[in-house]
Copies of this chain bind each other. A is one copy, B any other.
Amino acid sequence: MTSADVSDFRVSSLRSACTNCSLVQLCLPVSLSQSDVALLDDIVQRRRPLQRNDHLYREGDDFHAIYAVRSGALKTYTVSSGGEEQVTGFHLPGELVGLDAINTWRHPCSAEALETTSVCELPFERLEDLASEIPGLQRQLLRLMSREIFSDQEMLFAMARRTAEERLAILLLSLSDRFARRGLSATRFRLPMARSELGNYLGLAPETMSRLFRRFRDQGWLSAEGREVRLTDVEALHELAGRPPEDAAAVGQRDTGY
């Protein structure tokens, strides 16, 4: 056994082994060579899992790292001056959080675990340094941030112009996509968040959410008990999500981006 082997062994319990992580192609997709990923490995830190309602960071905290969700789920939210909570996003395994803090070096929102959740911590300064050395990594970072911008704008469009029904359809399809990308079922999944949190995110009252779910069930588009959801008519949901209301005759569908 060489000394390199020993050192590798010693460190491996501390680091997250991106090399073996099935999510690496989600959180930092493609384009990194084996050896580049190994370099990344060295700066990634694991943290002990968060329990439900634990915070990964809070609004106003100093920013020093971005995080990749390994398992579980997070929500990010801000609190308005009135104490009212606004959910700004849900984050599933393979997705990054904290990108919005780079600008000010302070987290502009809080991140809270919706269930038992483990994350990888990527210390930002070291990530930056590494990105300077590995062009592919720099590019990935920029791409991911670009994607975030794009999907926020899609969402913005949805909030501005879509009815409650359409918003729910869009969200369900987005979740479906994101589950599928991890190799899970696109039609049966368990929502990690409460109805009221979904509603909050979509800008809808919890009562409206409840009525929507019933309407969707009555239409045969899904069956749901509690957080367990089964999409039974994905096509109909795409219909709803894909086109603005006054446009029911048109063809074509949009992807939710994420």
Contact = CB atoms under 8 A, between A and B. Distances in A.
Interface of A: 78, 80-84, 86, 88-89, 99-104, 108-109, 128-129, 131-133, 135, 138-139, 141-150, 152-153, 155-157, 159-161, 201-203, 242-244, 246-247, 250-254
Contact of A152 (B149, B160, B201): B149
B153 A145 contact: no
Contact of A149 (B81, B83, B100, B250): B100
Q: How many monomers of this protein are in the complex?
A: 2
A146 B98 CA distance: 9
Given A131-B138, A138-B131, A243 B101 contact: no
Contacts of A89: 153
A149 B141 CA distance: 13
A189 B141 CA distance: 37
Contacts of A80: 161, 243-244, 247, 254
A84 B244 CA distance: 8
A104 B108 CA distance: 27
Contacts of A109: 153
B160 A102 contact: no
Contacts of A82: 243-244, 246-247, 250
